[in-house]
Amino acid sequence: MQEPDHHDLSDDSDYAASQQQGLGKSTFRSDSGKFGAGGDGGVWEVVYFRENVAIHPTQYSSERISGRLRLIKQGDALFMTWIPYKAGQSGVDPARYGENSSLSEKDQNLYTIRDLPLEDVHSIRRHTPALGWQYIIVVLLSGLAYPPLYFYNSGVREFLSTIKQHAFIARSSDDANVFLVNNFQDPLQKTLSSLELHGVASIANATSHISFGSVSSNQDINRGSSSNSEYSGKPRKRIQDPARDISIQVLEKFSLVTKFARETTTQLFRESQNNGFNNYGKIQKNEDAPSKSSVAPDHKIEANIHNVPVPTDPLKNELSLIWGKPRKLPMGLEEWNIFLDPEGRIMDPVALKKRIFYGGVQNGLRKEVWKFLLGYFSYNSTYAEREYLSSVKKKNYETIKFQWQSISPDQAKMFTKFRERKGLIEKDVVRTDRSMSFYDGDENKNVELLRDVLLTYSFYNFDLGYCQGMSDFLSPILFVIEDESESFWCFAALMQRLGSNFNRDQSGMHAQLFALSKLVEILDCPLHNYLKQADCLNYFFCFRWILIQFKREFEYDQIMLLWEVLWTHYFSEHFHLYICVAILKKYRQKIIGEQMDFDTLLKFINELSCGIDLDETIRDAEALCNCAGENGEACIPPGTPPSLPIETPMMYQQDDEDDFGKSGCI
């Protein structure tokens, strides 16, 4: 199918300039073209090559990982690779390109992009700031994105020009800096980007992919070392009721593209399932995967796999000494009043947060307490100040809400972003927690409130807008607060931190998954090593846990309790990561013993939903947090999103009886 004229890149000034400068196909080949044979006998060719393309793993511009970016052609297929430099790599000038001398092997593997087929790319966003370096963000059909790639030696326009020569690419009509890839291919291919369709893996599987191997020394491509491989994914059956909310679909779409989303450890395209080995023995696919009903409540899943010896948990003895404190009953009204002075101030916020951490809050009291935990009210505010603030905030909310309510139908026709967000929100809210009586039934007023608050937030924070999964967070807040304006401001405060979970470049999610990998490494090194061998070191199987803060893993009343615990920040602002570690350690015997690979592990993790003991998990996470101590906090990069903003940079100190926990055992 031919591209419409108004989408053709020939009207792009960068593209035109590159053609005028002779940066066409022949130039790329003369500069960097390499030829060789793939594992299946096909001829591959490097059609684009650029040195000193870097990523920034933290928010500090001085910390960067430099490498080589390539576009590789084989037959009609185009692949993209980005391989970071190794320390002391031959042919690399450290003064010019940097040598990544402080980069560990596991960090190098974490960010490597190997053999990404362009047919699996949805779009490429180009950023050309007035000051600073140009960079691109490659977004996959799943909605996930690789970290931004910074071009320190220029080359963005040449990169796009090369893709133009070998694949369909068109400028987005909504954003001139977004280039859609494969947008005009077969209509079935277009459906891959939809979050509402299943079976996308079967379409992606239609084409086999090659592996171009790893890069070492001064060799650009390891000739003759490529191996045939192909996606082994299958259309997955929906585990949950499709009428339940949209967040499960986010992970489902992710799970269908796991094979090419892996930016970690060894080759992205592995050898055939039946021939794959690792250091722990042969990985065997369990075609008869356990059902959800077999997981809960005792989690005893029978599998047709021979168990192998599992390394002992290195913290088994230490954890028994610092086991988390017993859980208490939820705090009630009488106990709550003890924390208030006559004018309504919270006299001891730390003691209050400690009490909530160990027991939560009774349902009837949550409406008041959550406003403090979520930052709507200050702990030092009085009754009178809170009453005045509520009236002011309500007026502010109505002003913001009126911005979208006043848009006429004629205006909406010329406001594409508004139409898109409104349509997505209306589509999501009718499937969010509809099993709850609060949201059940046709023409439910609470569903309308859910829509109104989300639409208003999309105008309040227009840059972030609305993303699938946000309704998951707002639903319990609206259920508890039961006031439109106050629910909005509580939700807005929550998004101050969790908003980065929904960044298009997935920077917030990548940071948290990276921090999780570091925590597992120091708290259970054998498990970490196994996940590395099994190509699971990206921890994408925990994606749903972190994205929506375990919303799908626990029942509604339990998730409200867990969120209260996380919002206290009593032990750590990253306590949700210790919850992840606690769950993984609980099932380490099964994960290692049954030699789970990525897809099997992802399916297993999904099927734990509503079968996890929450109180036990919180106690385990507390013990792990105590055991990790300062080492645990130090391994989490600065800027990694916590659950909520905290009022002071100081961690809440525990009582003297917890001195052992503060020192840490690692």
572 in a structural domain: yes
For residues 35 and 510, which has the higher predicted lDDT (pLDDT)? 510
Residue 554: the pLDDT is: 95
400 in a structural domain: yes
Model confidence over 361-402: pLDDT tens digits? 999 999 999 999 999 999 999 999 999 999 999 999 999 999
Mean pLDDT comparison of 160-169, 579-588, 648-657, highest-scoring range: 579-588
Residue 327: the pLDDT is: 87
* DSSP assignment of 365-399: HHHHHHHHHTTSS-TT--HHHHHHHHHHHHHHHHH
Is the pLDDT at 262 greater than 50? The verdict is no
Q: Which residue has the tokens 């949209």?
A: 246
Residues 537 and 512 in one domain: yes
- What's the mean pLDDT in 49-71? 83
Residues 512 and 585 in one domain: yes
Rounded Cα–Cα distance for residues 123 and 181 (Å) = 5
Residues 495 and 366 in one domain: yes
Radius of gyration of the chain (CA): 26
Model confidence over 498-526: pLDDT tens digits? 988 888 778 888 889 999 999 999 999 99
Number of independent structural domains in the chain: 3
Residues 441 and 531 in one domain: no
Closest C-alpha to 47, from 76, 20, 16: 76
Rounded Cα–Cα distance for residues 189 and 497 (Å) = 35
Residues 531 and 489 in one domain: no
Rounded Cα–Cα distance for residues 17 and 9 (Å) = 11
Q: How confident is the model at residue 59 (pLDDT cuts 50, 70, 90)?
A: low
* Helices 470-481 and 484-498, axial angle in degrees (round to 10): 140
Q: How confident is the model at residue 255 (pLDDT cuts 50, 70, 90)?
A: very low
654 in a structural domain: no
Residue 146: the pLDDT is: 84
Q: How confident is the model at residue 231 (pLDDT cuts 50, 70, 90)?
A: very low
519 in a structural domain: yes
Surface-to-core class of residue 2, CB atoms within 10 Å of its CB (0-12 exposed, 13-18 middle, 19+ buried): exposed
Q: Quick one: CA dihedral 91, 93, 98, 100, positive or negative?
A: positive
Residues 361 and 481 in one domain: yes
**Per-state percent for the chain, helix, strand, coil, to nearest 5:** 45, 10, 45
Closest C-alpha to 164, from 32, 335, 47: 47
Residues 462 and 557 in one domain: no
Residue 651: the pLDDT is: 38
Residues 522 and 454 in one domain: no
Residue 1: the pLDDT is: 40
Count of CA atoms in the C-beta half-sphere (13 A) of 357: 24
Residues 482 and 525 in one domain: no
Single residue among 470, 501, 532 that ends a domain in this structure: 501
- What's the mean pLDDT in 247-271? 36
Model confidence over 543-562: pLDDT tens digits? 999 999 999 999 999 999 99
Is the pLDDT at 297 greater than 70? The verdict is no
597 in a structural domain: yes
Q: Of how many residues is the chain composed?
A: 666
For residues 51 and 301, which has the higher predicted lDDT (pLDDT)? 51
H or E element at residue 364: helix 363-373
Residues 468 and 369 in one domain: yes
* Helices 470-481 and 445-460, axial angle in degrees (round to 10): 120
Show the tokens assigned to 189.
């291919």
For residues 246 and 312, which has the higher predicted lDDT (pLDDT)? 312
For residues 308 and 378, which has the higher predicted lDDT (pLDDT)? 378
485 in a structural domain: yes
For residues 375 and 200, which has the higher predicted lDDT (pLDDT)? 375
Percent of the chain clearing pLDDT 90 (strictly above) = 43
First to last CA, the chain: 60
Residue type present at position 181:
V
Residues 362 and 496 in one domain: yes
Lowest model confidence (mean pLDDT) among 56-60, 156-160, 592-596: 56-60
pTM over cut 0.85: no
Single residue among 477, 501, 525 that ends a domain in this structure: 501
Q: How confident is the model at residue 92 (pLDDT cuts 50, 70, 90)?
A: low
Asked if residue 40 lies in contact with residue 228, where contact means CB atoms within 8 angstroms, the answer is yes
Residue 261: the pLDDT is: 37
385 in a structural domain: yes
Residues 544 and 416 in one domain: no
Model confidence over 425-439: pLDDT tens digits? 999 999 999 999 999
Q: How confident is the model at residue 171 (pLDDT cuts 50, 70, 90)?
A: confident
Average predicted confidence (pLDDT) for the chain: 74
* DSSP assignment of 646-666: -SSSSPPP--GGGHHHHH---
Q: How confident is the model at residue 132 (pLDDT cuts 50, 70, 90)?
A: confident
Rounded Cα–Cα distance for residues 304 and 482 (Å) = 49
Long-range contact set of residues 15-21: C-beta below 8 Å, sequence gap at least 24: 15/157, 15/160, 15/161, 15/164, 17/157, 18/157, 18/158, 18/161, 19/161
210 in a structural domain: no
- What's the mean pLDDT in 219-234? 34
- Kindly report the CATH number assigned to the domain that includes residue 550: 1.10.472.80
Residue 319: the pLDDT is: 53
Q: How confident is the model at residue 194 (pLDDT cuts 50, 70, 90)?
A: very low
Show the tokens assigned to 390.
């509520």
Is the pLDDT at 569 greater than 50? The verdict is yes
| Residue range of the domain that includes 86 | 44-90+98-184
Q: How confident is the model at residue 461 (pLDDT cuts 50, 70, 90)?
A: very high
Rounded Cα–Cα distance for residues 114 and 81 (Å) = 5
* DSSP assignment of 512-579: HHHHHHHHHHHH-HHHHHHHHHTT-TT-GGGHHHHHTTTTTTS-HHHHHHHHHHHHH-SS-TTHHHHH
- Provide the 3-class DSSP secondary structure of residue 1: coil
